[in-house]
Structure 1
Amino acid sequence: MAIVCQSIRPNLLLVNELLLTDEERDRAGARLVALLDSYERGLPEAEILPAPDRDALSSLLATPMPEHGVGVDGLFDAWESTILPNSTTVAHPRFLAYVLGPPNGIAPYAEAMAAAMNQNCNFWQLSPAASVVERSVLEWLASVVGFPSGARGILTGGGSLATLQALATALHDRVPDFHATGLQRDAAPLVVYTSVEAHRSVDKAAAVLGIGLDNVRHIATDPLHRMDVHALRAAVEEDRAAGLRPWYVVGTCGTVSTGSVDPLDEIADLCAAEDLWLHVDGAYGALFLLSEEMRGLMGGCARADSITLDPHKLLHAPLEAGCLLVRDGAKLRDAFAFDSSYLTVAEDPLMTDYMDYGLQLSRNFKAFKVWSALQAFGVSAFRDANARTLALARRLGDGIEATPGLTLLAPVTLTAVCFAVDGASDDEHRALLERLIAENVALLGPVVVAGRRGIRACVTNHRTSEADIGLVLHRLRQAVSRRPRRAAVAGEGPGGGTAATPEHNPV
């Protein structure tokens, strides 16, 4: 629907046209509290993936920006009539398609306060409290990983930017005079190693920084979908023999597809022996280190030269809040610090100038929402929430294994549960996903595991309950029970993939 443009505040032009009156502040506060409350209460019955109202969105696009504003009530009306109904309900307890959890309960209030303060977190004079808050958050995150006291880091817009900055830090550390000459030199090409299951941000960072995709090796994985260390060692030896320069390895602590965790200790041993920089992509999984039961699996994170984390995943901060930590903090600063007379302030041992630790100069106060949630709820609340999602994912995996007609495609290592309907075609899997969302049962996603297509649920939602998982399992069992019985096909492996009859068997 089009937004009606009318002026309701001409008297403010004599005061300040960009401020609210006392009455308008009261009205905005009341409507915001009511809207947040109704949104929260309505989540269980909300549509997970509402069909976009294309007429309303087209009207929004076609309506010019108003010369005179619609005022507080007009704006809130537009939010409620057009924006919210056409937004994916990420906070719904059965939003299970991606590694994306809903914000924690204090987040909207912390975000509002951060917007009011509008701190520019570049050098400490512009944001003294913010500088200390970010340092506090980063030091805590480093302690969770197991990094030494000399580690330093920075909060970023997400894992992709953190990966880019990690690669840039390693380039500066390992390539002489990198700031001056970059890669424009007569030298052996640098080679990056990661697994075939790695996040695409590794390739993107290598391409953007001039490493080149031809110099990125995607190492095969073992039967558990983890990087094969023997294959990694062979690739490094082969490249050295060819006159290339191996220098950077990316291990993954929680692959996006299956949640597998690379054998990080073995990879760290190899990197130490071969003098390779070890980066760990822990955007999905590393913060499961809060759970004591995961430390045996993930302890190798502490041996990395750098690691990426995503507080907007397992700490349930609202987007965006990624993080890069570097074991030797001096290397991070050396990579990004540049002198500018107009930005010089006196050094203070309590403060940090984050413009010297990353790409951005203008930076918002990302640390505030992370710090505020940790203060409000305590670390144990996040530990418990993460443990609950791990348990729910195992329950879903166990239920799928116990259901004739469904096959797990990978072990449930973290919270990703990958499975297939036995004998179902790609179209049938797609139809099942569409039916689940059409019935508002759950939003799941497609996946390909070892060449086989199937379905993936990822339980990273702190609102998800036993009842939600039970409903998903019940609906999946209904779907497979309605499929015609299929005769065994000679040579078909467990779980199958070849139809016994030519007829179409909808799920």
Structure 2
Amino acid sequence: MSELVLTDEERATAGTRLVALLDRYERDLPDAQVLPAPDREQLTRLLADSLPDNGIGVDGLFDRLEDTILPSSTTVAHSRFLAYVLGPPNGVAAYAEAVAATINQNCNFWQLSPAASVVERAVLEWLASVVGFPASAKGILTGGGSLATVQAMATALADRVPGFRETGLQRPAPPLVVYTSVEAHRSVDKAAAILGIGLDHVRHIATDERNRLDVGALTAAIDADRRAGRQPWCVVATCGTVATGSVDPLDALADLCAEQELWLHVDGAYGGLFLLCEEMRELMGGAARADSISLDPHKLLFAPLEAGCLLVRDGAKLRAAYAFDSSYLTVAEDPLLTDYMDYGPQLSRNFKALKVWSALQVFGVDSFRAATRRTLELAQHFARGIEAVDGLTLLAPVTLTAVCFAVDGASRTEQTRLLERLAAENTALLGPVLLGGRHGLRACVTNHRTTTGDIDLILARLQEVVASRS
């Protein structure tokens, strides 16, 4: 027998210890420290350990997990973890991940992962239907929204720049220009740098009073670049900016891109899946007109990291950007099964779709609609509470679940110290924000465990802080 296989007794021990760990973690969450201070002595000892010639066994491993890893891990599942657009995993996630690791499917060409191929296709078709994309849409699950944006822009280059796949940037042609807002995620800049477009050819367009990309300013920038001999080719709109949750005017941008023959990509990593809520369709319905959209199931579908998604309205364009012939990987085409190596840059890929599919099977989409709707309602409750406290000021309209506010008269240093104090006393983990030159605090309610009681506790503590300043 292989030395890398557990014995019957070791498997039983591992199962017992794992179930106990998961159960205890869940039960201890209400009293856990949301941002525990790292045990530097223990972590330093991890670095001091040499590569072990002999193992410590199953019990030894779980002892180290419980004594060293868990105590120095941020409690993302805590109901007052509100600093980032990052929710806790859903309840079935750990079990689905264990199954995916056990069967270890390589989701590249279908022969290595036939069931996984169909599960991923099912998840992608469900997500495309949420966005409103046609049956011709195709997609792929990615490591997150940033990678989805890189892959979308690469697809746009292959489609909108003739001969780009063959010659790349090694051609005598006008410089390519991409447009996005000043509030866009940094992944747009990173994608431009990775793809060789260059940061000098990313136009960060001004926003309106609601922090949305200004279509008039965008039109003027496109016209100026054309007159200067440059080649506009892509606009990246945002459906939920990280700082304020603002949603760019997607319909107007779709009209402009159609008129100008530009690719429209929508970064929906934060906000796109709020389309699960029917009341958000008026605000976000223009997403269905985009050429491509990125989504993050590891946000509002509460899948464990990593689970991003790229969807392309015309699926043939996605395949045209990524498919290559390889005789050693060729298998017969099958209308049921998909070779995902032809829809993205990776060959070896893990079974990300299983955790998304499993959660939808266990809880049903109505549960996710209810959870996302509750986060929207809690954010509005938080905003009303801020407005009701003299000495606190909202810094931006609350469009989705980001609530940005400031303590009146407090310096940047004072507000930073307040963030540290709130975390240290375990009131909440909030984050900093800078809007219109003003420093403040930001809560982002993307946590299905958060309750009205949690929000009220934070508001009460903020009120105490403000009162103590007077």
TM-score, with normalisation over the residues of structure 1? Answer: 0.92
C-alpha distance in structure 2 between counterparts of 1:312 and 1:87, whole Å: 18
User: How does 1:350-361 map onto structure 2 within 5 Å?
Assistant: 350-361=336-347
The alpha carbon displacement at 1:175 in A equals 1.5
C-alpha distance in structure 1 between counterparts of 2:92 and 2:276, whole Å: 20
Residue aligning to 2:98:
112
**For 1:278, what is the secondary structure of its paired residue?**
strand
Residue aligning to 2:29:
43
1:166 is aligned to 2:117: no
Letter in structure 2 aligned against 1:66: P
Residue aligning to 1:70:
56
C-alpha distance in structure 1 between counterparts of 2:206 and 2:343, whole Å: 34
User: How does 1:336-415 map onto structure 2 within 5 Å?
Assistant: 336-415=322-401
Superposed CA RMSD? 0.6
C-alpha distance in structure 1 between counterparts of 2:371 and 2:365, whole Å: 10
C-alpha distance in structure 2 between counterparts of 1:178 and 1:267, whole Å: 25
Residue aligning to 1:182:
168
C-alpha distance in structure 2 between counterparts of 1:80 and 1:311, whole Å: 28
C-alpha distance in structure 1 between counterparts of 2:314 and 2:84, whole Å: 33
Moved over 4 A (4+): none
Letter in structure 2 aligned against 1:171: L
- Map Cα deviations across residues 433-461 of structure 1 (whole Å, 9 max, x no partner): 01101110000000001111100000000
Residue aligning to 1:12:
none
Residue aligning to 1:200:
186
C-alpha distance in structure 2 between counterparts of 1:262 and 1:403, whole Å: 30
Tell me which of 419, 444, 462 is aligned to 2:430.
444
C-alpha distance in structure 1 between counterparts of 2:274 and 2:160, whole Å: 31
C-alpha distance in structure 2 between counterparts of 1:241 and 1:397, whole Å: 45
C-alpha distance in structure 1 between counterparts of 2:356 and 2:49, whole Å: 37
The alpha carbon displacement at 1:336 in A equals 0.2
Larger Rg: 1
1:330 is aligned to 2:316: yes
The alpha carbon displacement at 1:276 in A equals 0.8
Letter in structure 2 aligned against 1:440: N
Tell me which of 85, 91, 95 is aligned to 1:99.
85
Residue aligning to 2:196:
210
C-alpha distance in structure 2 between counterparts of 1:51 and 1:233, whole Å: 49
Decide whether the 8 Å contact of 2:161 with 2:233 is kept in 1: no
C-alpha distance in structure 1 between counterparts of 2:344 and 2:169, whole Å: 20
1:80 is aligned to 2:63: no
The alpha carbon displacement at 1:412 in A equals 0.6
C-alpha distance in structure 1 between counterparts of 2:337 and 2:7, whole Å: 37
TM-score, with normalisation over the residues of structure 2? Answer: 0.99
C-alpha distance in structure 2 between counterparts of 1:179 and 1:390, whole Å: 42
Q: Which runs of 5+ in 2 are unaligned?
A: none
1:431 is aligned to 2:431: no
Identity of matched residues, %: 76
The alpha carbon displacement at 1:65 in A equals 2.4
C-alpha distance in structure 2 between counterparts of 1:298 and 1:233, whole Å: 21
Decide whether the 8 Å contact of 2:81 with 2:429 is kept in 1: yes
C-alpha distance in structure 1 between counterparts of 2:198 and 2:57, whole Å: 51
Residue aligning to 1:26:
12
Tell me which of 297, 301, 305 is aligned to 1:315.
301
> In terms of mean alpha carbon deviation, does 168-177 or 391-400 score higher?
168-177
- Map Cα deviations across residues 42-81 of structure 1 (whole Å, 9 max, x no partner): 0010011111111100001101122111111000000000
- Map Cα deviations across residues 87-145 of structure 1 (whole Å, 9 max, x no partner): 00000000000000000000000000000000000000000000000000000000000
Decide whether the 8 Å contact of 2:254 with 2:290 is kept in 1: yes
C-alpha distance in structure 2 between counterparts of 1:405 and 1:366, whole Å: 46
C-alpha distance in structure 2 between counterparts of 1:316 and 1:61, whole Å: 32
Residue aligning to 2:126:
140
**For 1:396, what is the secondary structure of its paired residue?**
helix
The alpha carbon displacement at 1:179 in A equals 1.9
The alpha carbon displacement at 1:379 in A equals 0.3
Size of the alignment, in residue pairs?
470
C-alpha distance in structure 2 between counterparts of 1:210 and 1:60, whole Å: 39
C-alpha distance in structure 1 between counterparts of 2:467 and 2:346, whole Å: 55
User: How does 1:299-310 map onto structure 2 within 5 Å?
Assistant: 299-310=285-296
C-alpha distance in structure 1 between counterparts of 2:313 and 2:440, whole Å: 39
